[in-house]
Amino acid sequence: MKVEPLAVEHELVERVLRIKQTLRGFVVDETPVCATTDPEAWHPEHPSGLSTPPYKAEKQAMALCQDCPLIDFCLIQELREVTAVEHVHGVRGGVRQAERQALYLTVVKEGLL
């Protein structure tokens, strides 16, 4: 399935721009939720697509992310580190794989990071 970039006005793109402004000089001094959870929880075997709602395993991982003090840092860090859309897997920063893949394409296309 081909992934297309999101519109620049999409809420995830706006979230990235907000986070980018607030994380300048951010120091990680807290433990992320994922460090205390089974790593398999973040990588559902069958991820959903953009045209379908998140599957149960994705919803569970996304819910765990909501309590994490590093949720925003996690999302931005992945977008900065990943080198290709094919390397975006699982749930990270409270966002499922399909949405982050589309977000990554937008960030690259628009030069947002």
Write down the pLDDT at residue 24.
Answer: 66
Write down the pLDDT at residue 25.
Answer: 65
Please write the tens of the pLDDT for every residue from 19-65: 887 776 666 788 999 999 999 999 999 999 999 999 999 999 999 99
Q: Give 59: exposed, middle or buried? Use CB within 10 Å, 0-12, 13-18, 19+.
A: middle
Please write the tens of the pLDDT for every residue from 77-106: 999 999 999 999 999 999 999 999 999 999
28 vs 57: CA distance, rounded Å: 27
